[in-house]
Amino acid sequence: MPSKDYVYKTSGSLEIAATVYYRQDEPRSSKKPIAIGFHAGGFTIGSRFLFNSNEIDALLDFGFVVISADHRLCPHVSLYDGPIEDAKDAFNWARTTLPDLIKKDVNIDIDGDRIVAFGQSSGGTLALHLGSLPNPPRAIAAFYAAAYFSDEIWTQPTPGADMMPPIDKAFAESVYDEAPASMTIVAPRQFIAPGTMPMPNLSVPRDAWMALAFKEGQHLSRCVKDGDFGRVDPATYFSPKFPPTVFLTGTDDTFINPKFSKQAHAQLSGLKVETKLVLAEAGQHGYNFGMEKDDVRFQETVLPGYEFLADHRAPNFDVGDHVSAEPPKVPSGQVAPDGMNYERLYAAECSGPAQYPAPHGFTLPPSPERYSPHGEAEAMVTMNVTLAPDLSADHLIDFESWFSVPADNDCWPDLTCYDQDFSVLDIVGPSVTEGSMQKSWDTQKRNASLPQPNITEVYRRNQVPEIDKDAVEPRHYDPARAEDDAQLIFPDLTVIPREDIEAENLAHVEEVSAEVTSIVFELANDMQLKSNYPQFIELRIPPAPVLNAWVQLYFEHFHPMFPVLHKPTFSTSGSNPFLVLAVAAIGAHFSDIQGAQPCLRAMHELIRRYTSYTCEKLNLRSRELWMTQTILLNQLGLMYSGDRRALELAEIFQAVPVTLARRKRLFTNTLPQERLCRLELPIADKWHVSILDEQRRRAGFAIWLIDAAYDYNFDLCTTMKADELQNCFPQQDGRWDASNAQAWATFGEENISIQNITLGQVINGRTWRYAWSKTGTLGKQTILQYLANVVNGKDHVSPASPSFSPEQNRAALEALETLLEETGDQGYGHSWSDLKASAIHRVMILSALTLYHTPTSHIVPLAIKVIYGKMNDDSWTLTIDRWRSSSCQGRTGVLYASNLFETVRSARCIHFMTPVLLLKAVLVMWLYSIIHDRLRHGRGYQLEIPSVVLDLKSLDTPATKQWIANGSSCIKLPGISNLLSRQGRCKMLEESVVVMRSLRAWGISSMYAQLLERLRLVEDMQPAELATI
């Protein structure tokens, strides 16, 4: 498009320029209106060339001559004396001087009285300031503009400042050694993805100065300089005479909170000014950057802003008539201000709510032509537009990340309904806290339930009958009085001997400071005062040395098996305090410190409350990665803590991490590796970007794994399917654990192809072994979990979901058997972390194969029925017939179960799923032994039949194959006599209890140990000469 540059102002020796765009081939029968725009850049960087050319072209289509103006940049000049003053001068120059210049140079007539303004981000703020002029623009379009500068967020670090790379202050301050500037060039490589702002170039002092100011929460104050925030806040000048204004913003903007555009829209509406609000659903800060003109998102979220300007370009828009006209009635039900003045959005360029008295000034009220005959403002519209999935799926990346950058907790599967009605198990008595607010009518309503048979039919998963107070059902519990609720009491850990604490301080990461505990206490106490949660009886945050020890235990025991965080850059002082608390809560599961168990339960409860409260009150915080990481770690701790109430809470909030991940697009590949490789950045910056992207990826995979565990471990519904996991596999753990940029770079980029392979591609291509060799333990666990879901038919997200085909089932089974060979050597790997990860891989494979080959699919409820004497002869006959019809398959299941048992016994496998998988393996061996006893009817063994030893080497021996084909009456496990005898079965159960209790890091293991002990007691209830139930 044709254009011409002009210098509209000089300041000393600095020339400040504007570029004028126009159409030469259009008819020139009348004067053209003018649209003047101001670019984004936090008042510090950027230039007039930063606008999307498609937007300029759209304004030209509406008949405008378009001006894009530079301004002097902070920090050499204050915001008021520099950018704001220059914007006003550019506007007056366009009105009074440009018409003659452009007529002389290109023979185009323009009308200086018909001028509108637009701007993006900080440029939107400048455009809004023009509304205070005596002769303001006829209309203003403000894209995600900043306003309400008295808000406290302007003194807070920007979101995710802890993830920002270190910035040398002396280097940043060297910007003052440079000459004042009115523009900077943004290199193409700084544009990472469409729909986002360009990344700052931290190798340039000016960009580093801006980034450091945002990181320290001092950007606005350093630009304002004199502390007079009121005069630089455009909201100060809102009045009934303000020009018609359209506000456009993305709903996921974490730099400038969209509530500020909403609040400005509402404030002007209240002043009876014509205004409009366009919301781009899922739009980030800079959502319109890189959009094509024919893109439907452009048509729905960008073009309406320029159409609004075009509606006010007409020559018959008479100023005098409008000033004298009585403002029309504003319709009710318009968007109101959020009112959350306590909300901390760490905006990257501008934001904050506050109101100042509107000064006098002449502005244009709304045109009466924009109102209906009924007096309702047609322009007073809020448009909610959803951005198309293809943008959010493959191109957008949250580069705020650059700146933010004791019961068996097994909810017994499909328990059949027993003879008597157990619906009472779903009626939970109110706690003291609930009772204090409960009305009589509410009690009557709770008691006026359906007839008992109907309840039993509705709640098909009524679990175990109430036999005694130590019933093993995880959902059946009686809430304690609030004063006695263990979750509401923090034990006093200040008396713990120092040597006990130091024994667990393994020095993996930076130590936790006292400041972290102080901040956690302040935030928790503030939440207690403002929320409706029952208050903690004793809100005693563990002292810093104890929290530090538990953080170190997390990286010693949990991180090698579930590496969602980046250990080399994890900083306890730089991370959000509640993420540090969540890490410590997980680490406390492995602690021997007295009081650790009650404390971790209270910590999980506090984290649950704080994250829920924060997501509700400060919604944009939910878009931040630390929040997602905190919630997923805490939910995992609740699920496997062994506390019935905790599991129920985890189930209630099961969808939260999945929802947050969808909003943040953690399941999609937002930064392909080849794009990362093409970035012309210093190696340290490229490493940092890689870390941010990989953390997002690992959080998404971890969330899928935890969601899948609800079904696989607890037989509950999942909230997402595997085909939603569209991100590429996590990188290998060696590269992920690189301690610095140089070590990371030594891994090279020769295996980039695997980095863009997704689970769906591996499923379609059946390249399981190849993907296995190229990904880390999170990727391996995802592969195994998916294959386990296939072979065991775990695809129950929706009743309408198609089941896996027999061909898929066979392929998954073959893949599991192949991968089992890969993990056959328990010594493979070169570190203790590799051994820990290897153990859980093998356990997951063996468990999947065990459950696949076991004829009894729901073995846990069967064991419970035996404990409670609910297995009659008919039930046993059905079970035995099922095993007899699949005898070879059943013996194969026992073989895999015994290998799983031996793997857990010999390897220190403390993964959170191990107790669940071990329980099911033990029950398979127990049931096989019971069935064998019942078939013998008490007859003795044929001692001449060779015995079979099921140990870690027995998977593919001739003796094992012969036993699977023909059976045997003597099966031995190492250290255990014949499994098929009553004595061997009892010894196996006793040994299983010991092994289960060794997994005490996860409280669920103690509940399963209790179940196994009760099975052992059932054996003692039978006559010694009979080994039958």
Share of the chain above pLDDT 90, in %: 52
**872 vs 334, more confident:** 872
For the chain, the straight-line distance linking the first and the last C-alpha, in angstroms and rounded, comes to 89
Average pLDDT (640-664) is 90
Question: Torsion angle, CA of 975/865/1003/633, rounded to 10 degrees?
Answer: 120
CB 1008 within 8 A of CB 968: no
Q: Where do runs of H (alpha helix) occur along 823-886?
A: 832-853, 859-867, 873-885
Question: Is residue 717 scored above 80 in pLDDT?
Answer: yes
CB 846 within 8 A of CB 903: yes
**25 vs 849, more confident:** 849
Average pLDDT (658-672) is 87
Nearest alpha carbon to residue 602 among 579, 585, 626, 577:
585
Strands across the sheet with 110-120, in order?
Answer: 3-11, 14-21, 65-69, 32-38, 110-120, 140-143, 245-250, 275-281, 382-386
Q: For Cα atoms 1021, 1025, 1029, give the angle at the middle one, nearest 5 degrees.
A: 45
Nearest alpha carbon to residue 287 among 380, 399, 159:
399
Instruction: Tell me how far apart the alpha carbons of residues 275 and 365 are, in angstroms, rounded to a whole number.
Output: 10
Average pLDDT (949-976) is 83
Question: Is residue 619 scored above 60 in pLDDT?
Answer: yes
Residue 264 identity (one-letter amino acid): A
pLDDT digits (tens, 9 = 90+) for 39-64: 999 999 999 999 999 999 999 999 99
Instruction: Tell me how far apart the alpha carbons of residues 896 and 848 are, in angstroms, rounded to a whole number.
Output: 9
Position 339 scores a pLDDT of: 32
Taking the CB of residue 90, how many other CB atoms lie within 10 A of it?
Answer: 28
Tokens, residue 271: 């002043």
Average pLDDT (95-108) is 94
Confidence of residue 334 (pLDDT cuts 50, 70, 90): very low
Q: Which domains does the chain show, CATH number per domain?
A: 3-400 (3.40.50.1820), 423-483 (no CATH), 655-822 (no CATH), 845-1020 (no CATH)
**164 vs 501, more confident:** 501
Nearest alpha carbon to residue 537 among 487, 578, 493, 598:
487
Confidence of residue 643 (pLDDT cuts 50, 70, 90): confident
Average pLDDT (331-343) is 33
Question: Is residue 1010 scored above 50 in pLDDT?
Answer: yes
Summary mean pLDDT of the chain: 79
Give the C-alpha distances (Å, rounded to integers) separating 27 from 99, 109, 398. Answer: 17, 11, 45
Average pLDDT (781-808) is 75
| Lowest-confidence pick of 61-65, 310-314, 524-528, 1013-1017 | 310-314
Position 360 scores a pLDDT of: 31
Residue 797 identity (one-letter amino acid): V
**Three-state DSSP state, 211:** helix
Residue 434 neighbours by CB under 8 Å, 6+ apart:
none
Residue 978 neighbours by CB under 8 Å, 6+ apart:
941, 947, 969, 970, 971, 972, 984
| φ, ψ at 853 (rounded to 5°) | -85, -10
pLDDT digits (tens, 9 = 90+) for 267-297: 999 999 999 999 998 888 899 988 888 888 8
Q: Which stretches of 863-999 are assigned E, i.e. beta strand?
A: 948-949, 971-973, 976-978
Tokens, residue 667: 């399941």
CB 784 within 8 A of CB 845: yes
Confidence of residue 264 (pLDDT cuts 50, 70, 90): very high
Position 1014 scores a pLDDT of: 92
Instruction: Tell me how far apart the alpha carbons of residues 241 and 609 are, in angstroms, rounded to a whole number.
Output: 46
CB 909 within 8 A of CB 1001: no
| Lowest-confidence pick of 143-152, 371-380, 637-646 | 371-380
**149 vs 141, more confident:** 141
Question: Is residue 380 scored above 90 in pLDDT?
Answer: no
CB 555 within 8 A of CB 567: yes
Question: Is residue 28 scored above 80 in pLDDT?
Answer: no
Residue 518 Rama label (left phi>0; alpha psi -120 to 50; beta): alpha
Give the C-alpha distances (Å, rounded to integers) separating 335 from 236, 277, 609, 733. Answer: 20, 9, 29, 49
CB 226 within 8 A of CB 256: no
pLDDT digits (tens, 9 = 90+) for 406-446: 333 333 333 333 333 322 223 233 333 333 333 333 333 33
Question: Is residue 405 scored above 70 in pLDDT?
Answer: no
Taking the CB of residue 776, how many other CB atoms lie within 10 A of it?
Answer: 21
Confidence of residue 950 (pLDDT cuts 50, 70, 90): confident
pLDDT digits (tens, 9 = 90+) for 235-244: 999 999 999 9
Average pLDDT (205-233) is 91
Instruction: Tell me how far apart the alpha carbons of residues 943 and 365 are, in angstroms, rounded to a whole number.
Output: 103
Of all helices (H) and strands (E), which one includes residue 820?
helix 806-822
Residue 116 Rama label (left phi>0; alpha psi -120 to 50; beta): beta
Instruction: Tell me how far apart the alpha carbons of residues 337 and 278 are, in angstroms, rounded to a whole number.
Output: 16
Q: Where do runs of H (alpha helix) occur along 654-727?
A: 655-664, 673-678, 683-714
Residue in this structure with the two tokens 């999935």, named with its chain if needed? 389
Position 971 scores a pLDDT of: 87
**Three-state DSSP state, 779:** helix
Instruction: Tell me how far apart the alpha carbons of residues 618 and 577 are, in angstroms, rounded to a whole number.
Output: 16
**Three-state DSSP state, 742:** helix
| φ, ψ at 733 (rounded to 5°) | -65, -25
Pairing of β 65-69 and β 110-120: unpaired
Residue 272 neighbours by CB under 8 Å, 6+ apart:
240, 327, 328, 330, 365, 366
pLDDT digits (tens, 9 = 90+) for 445-487: 333 333 444 433 333 333 333 334 344 444 444 444 434 444 6
Position 15 scores a pLDDT of: 94
Tokens, residue 305: 């802003």
Partner residues linked to 280 by β-bridges? 250, 385
Position 385 scores a pLDDT of: 41
3-state class percentages of the chain: helix first, strand second, coil last, to nearest 5: 50, 5, 45
Instruction: Tell me how far apart the alpha carbons of residues 152 and 396 are, in angstroms, rounded to a whole number.
Output: 29
| Lowest-confidence pick of 86-90, 136-140, 804-808 | 804-808
Angle between helices 859-867 and 914-936 (to 10 degrees): 60
**Three-state DSSP state, 386:** strand
pTM, two decimal places: 0.63
Question: Is residue 598 scored above 60 in pLDDT?
Answer: yes
| Lowest-confidence pick of 70-84, 281-295, 339-353 | 339-353
Q: For Cα atoms 318, 143, 207, give the angle at the middle one, nearest 5 degrees.
A: 135
Position 188 scores a pLDDT of: 64
Instruction: Tell me how far apart the alpha carbons of residues 559 and 590 are, in angstroms, rounded to a whole number.
Output: 12
Partner residues linked to 18 by β-bridges? 6, 69
Write the DSSP symbol of residue 733: H
Average pLDDT (771-798) is 86
Instruction: Tell me how far apart the alpha carbons of residues 46 and 39 are, in angstroms, rounded to a whole number.
Output: 7
Write the DSSP symbol of residue 496: S
Share of the chain above pLDDT 70, in %: 77
Average pLDDT (221-225) is 93
Nearest alpha carbon to residue 930 among 837, 996, 862, 830:
862
**Three-state DSSP state, 502:** helix
Write the DSSP symbol of residue 907: S
**683 vs 249, more confident:** 249
For residues 520-538, b (16+ Cβ closer than 10 Å) or e, as one string?
A: beebbeebbeeeebbebbe
Instruction: Tell me how far apart the alpha carbons of residues 109 and 227 are, in angstroms, rounded to a whole number.
Output: 43
CB 793 within 8 A of CB 804: yes
Instruction: Tell me how far apart the alpha carbons of residues 244 and 267 are, in angstroms, rounded to a whole number.
Output: 13
CB 302 within 8 A of CB 288: yes
Question: Is residue 516 scored above 90 in pLDDT?
Answer: yes
| Lowest-confidence pick of 57-61, 110-114, 160-164, 916-920 | 160-164
Max mean pLDDT range (118-132, 248-262, 926-940, 950-964): 118-132
Question: Is residue 780 scored above 90 in pLDDT?
Answer: yes
Question: Torsion angle, CA of 686/689/694/700, rounded to 10 degrees?
Answer: -160
Q: What is the DSSP string of 94-130?
A: HHHTHHHHHHHHH---EEEEEEEEEEETHHHHHHHHG
Instruction: Tell me how far apart the alpha carbons of residues 42 and 350 are, in angstroms, rounded to a whole number.
Output: 7
| Lowest-confidence pick of 95-109, 388-402, 469-483, 855-869 | 388-402
Tokens, residue 190: 């700084």
Question: Is residue 826 scored above 60 in pLDDT?
Answer: no
